[in-house]
Amino acid sequence: MNRQRLLLALILLGYLAVTLGYGVINPLFEAPDEHWHFFTAAAIADTGRLPRVEEPPDAFLGQEAAQPPLYYLLGAALIAPLDLGGARQALWENPFAWIGNAAALANVNRMVHTPAEAWPWAGHVLAAHVLRVFSTLLGLGTLLCIYAAARLLWPQAHTRPLLAVALVAFLPQFNFLHAAVTNDALIIFLCSLGLVQLIRLWCHPPPDPLDRRAALQLVALGLTVGAAALSKNAGVLLLVYSLGFLAVLALRDGRPRLVGWAALLAGVPAVLVAAPLWLRNQALYGDWTAAAPFIAIAGGDRGYSLGQVLAESGGLIASAMAVFGWFNLRPPAGVYWVWAAIAALAVAGGVVCAAQAYRRRPTDQRLSTPPNSSFVARHSSLVLPLLLAGWPLLVYAGLAAFMMRTEAAQGRLLFPAVLPLALGAAWGLAGWGRCAPRALGSINRRLAPLVALAALATTVYSLLFVIRPAYQPPPIVQTIPDTARLVLPELVDRGLGVSLLAAEVETEEARPGELVWLTLYWRADAPPAEPPEFVLELFGRHTQRVANLHSYHGRGLYPAGLWPAGAIVADRFAVRLDPIIEAPVLGRIFARVDGGAPGIEVATVRIEPAEPLPAPDGWAAELGDHIALVDATIRPAQTPPGRRVQVLVRWYVPVGAPPQDYTTLIHLGQPDAPPLSTGDSPPLGGAYPTSAWRNGETIDDLYFLPIPPGLPGGRYPVWIGLYDPATGERLPVTVEGELQPNGVYLAGWVEVE
């Protein structure tokens, strides 16, 4: 085995290892539409007939009942010997799943996964994994097609074919897709195979296009195209593209009359293979592509404009690189940056090499092309790249037309064009070695292996550190840690067989839009027959709910019905605070079981303003050792009796932090006499007690002071102070170091009219 074949084998083995790893680690049916693909194949295996869209539609088949059936027919043949009984009954959909929301902190799982999915696999679980492996092998076939195409284009090159294969073999989305039950795997392979056949005809045209060998090549191409049309409707695009490619090939060779023969030999087999399906669709749905029932089940024609479709390009590009789950699980930005850098290097290298090739083109053409050759022949070196580039454009055009009718901004739908994209990227990256300055020679020689290793790192990272932890259920612990806050015994049993034992908050303070992490410790003495729903709510000022979670336990992954009896489940999760919150506030966290008794306050968290107030240059008075009164304002300064005035206060914590909760004293009248009126209240109405204040914090506060009805007109002082609500003892008040009498400070005056 020569070095190139050894490297190819290592890349392919790496692909198999990684993709099979995706198939094992990613739970069943946690890929888009995977359960519908599986149950469509299972229905064929069970009945021996193609499914059709019924009214109402079969919820286990979804829109896949309207899809071309080749993948399902092959899959049905593979799983027919297996016991598929009870598969539908075993499917447990998560009613709280956040489909399409990558910002979701819980309920990433579309399905609830039970111990039946664990090794050793049996029944429908084994069948699903068999189909996943089938998809993986189809992906291997696609990689071999990419290598074959690269060798046809660059027979003397060593780096480019391997690099083209590695770029696709270690693309996270390609691995994820080919570890799922999906008909995309088959259409990608067949489109890649069809392109290899076209490239072979271009690079090695038969001397006589009508001889037996040439005819067999064209018929084989037609069968591939027909099989593609039986796999997905993208196969129709391949038919159109292939006929156009063959027409250009005939013109290049100066034999335009052979266009008809080529179309006949390739087109007729393709149509004969696909025609029965098209006729069936027309008879059943009045639509030979069956797109109408597909779109109807998916939600109906949304009637988008091209501009609206183009606005979804960001999600389309991201999901061509790495978007997992049901479009709700993304890797860190670094993974996207790696692939963006690879793409940028490929484009830059391609532009440089294309410019140099264009400058050399006239001399090359005079040496190699007879003067009476056709226009296509004279520009052959440009025509083939343009033809190959045309395939991704055609695939995108078809996808854009589809996206105008239904939501489909999914990068996997561009993968039927992965072969020319991989070839173009490899050509551009390898171009740095051919066209870059010699001073960069060392870097250029190492670029290809560095790119391949970087790609491998992104997909391994995505598998082990993005997908695997996203679906891990919470652990079972033997004891509750000392740092957790125990729930009062009389509040433990909530009447549904599930007990909340303790809570531990990791996030002591947060700002609007940030995460609050906590762990709740639960126990079920006996697993409930119906798993209860868990609700967590975080309240701010005026009992405004500023964060919440409604889910099964364990972030939706571990309903209480699956818990071992008597085990303690440490359910760690996060909630995101609303982006706009009145702050500061001491948020109160309540937990409850939906349908049971009212919630239990399990913890608190300090919520700071998004933009904290600045520290003052000075202050009017100090109250105790830790609190300073910056200023106080009374509004309105004049009022009739029977109304109330506002006292606006700004506090500051210059040293340390207050050790306990205090109540603010607001008194009207002389300080050494009983007050005429009071507006005493904890700071911020109790929403942000002084024990939560921190060193260096500035707090704006508001109090209301009622003016008694019948109070004689005159000018009355308003006093402010702080006192211990348990004992009534006031904090000492000092102004510039001088102790004030009665533990109060003159906040201002009110003129009673």
Residue with tokens 């084989």: 220
**Beta strands in 529-599, from DSSP E residues, in sequence order:** 534-539, 545-551, 568-576, 585-593
From the list 277, 276, 262, the residue with the least C-alpha distance to 221 is 262
> For residues 608 and 120, what is the distance between their CA atoms, to the nearest angstrom?
51
**Confidence (pLDDT) at 169:** 98
How many helices and strands (H and E) does the chain possess?
Answer: 20, 21
**Confidence (pLDDT) at 490:** 47
> 289 exposed, middle or buried (CB, 10 Å; 0-12, 13-18, 19+)?
middle
> For residues 334 and 582, what is the distance between their CA atoms, to the nearest angstrom?
34
The answer, yes or no, to whether residue 379 has pLDDT greater than 70, is no
**Confidence (pLDDT) at 360:** 64
Residue % of the chain over a pLDDT of 90: 76
SS3 state at 679? coil
The answer, yes or no, to whether residue 355 has pLDDT greater than 80, is no
The answer, yes or no, to whether residue 571 has pLDDT greater than 90, is yes
Is the CB of residue 506 less than 8 Å from the CB of residue 549? no
> For residues 719 and 721, what is the distance between their CA atoms, to the nearest angstrom?
7
Q: What one-character-per-residue DSSP string does 82-97 give?
A: S--TTHHHH--B-TT-
**Confidence (pLDDT) at 303:** 87
> For residues 103 and 333, what is the distance between their CA atoms, to the nearest angstrom?
13
> For residues 571 and 490, what is the distance between their CA atoms, to the nearest angstrom?
21
The answer, yes or no, to whether residue 366 has pLDDT greater than 50, is no
User: Which one-letter DSSP state was computed for residue 743?
Assistant: G
**Domains along the chain with CATH numbers:** 3-82+121-467 (no CATH), 476-607 (2.60.40.2550), 621-752 (2.60.40.770)
* pLDDT bracket for residue 605 (50, 70, 90): very high
> For residues 417 and 530, what is the distance between their CA atoms, to the nearest angstrom?
47
Mean of all residue pLDDT scores within the chain: 91
> For residues 140 and 178, what is the distance between their CA atoms, to the nearest angstrom?
9
**Confidence (pLDDT) at 707:** 96
> For residues 708 and 637, what is the distance between their CA atoms, to the nearest angstrom?
15
The answer, yes or no, to whether residue 478 has pLDDT greater than 90, is yes
| Number of alpha carbons in the 13 Å side-chain half-sphere of residue 581 | 31
Is the CB of residue 582 less than 8 Å from the CB of residue 558? no
| Number of alpha carbons in the 13 Å side-chain half-sphere of residue 653 | 17
| Tens of pLDDT, residues 229-260 | 999 999 999 999 999 999 998 888 777 777 78
Query: Which of 106-115, 231-240, 439-448 shows the lowest per-residue confidence on average (mean pLDDT)?
Result: 439-448
Cα torsion through 112, 115, 118, 119, rounded to 10: -160
Number of residues written out for the chain: 753
Among 82-86, 204-208, 397-401, 647-651, the range with the most confident prediction by mean pLDDT is 647-651
**Confidence (pLDDT) at 358:** 66
Q: What one-character-per-residue DSSP string does 471-508 give?
A: TPPPPEESS--TTSEEPPGGGTB-SSSEEEEEEEES-S
H-state helical runs in 580-621: none
**Confidence (pLDDT) at 590:** 93
The answer, yes or no, to whether residue 607 has pLDDT greater than 70, is yes
Residue with tokens 């992104």: 458
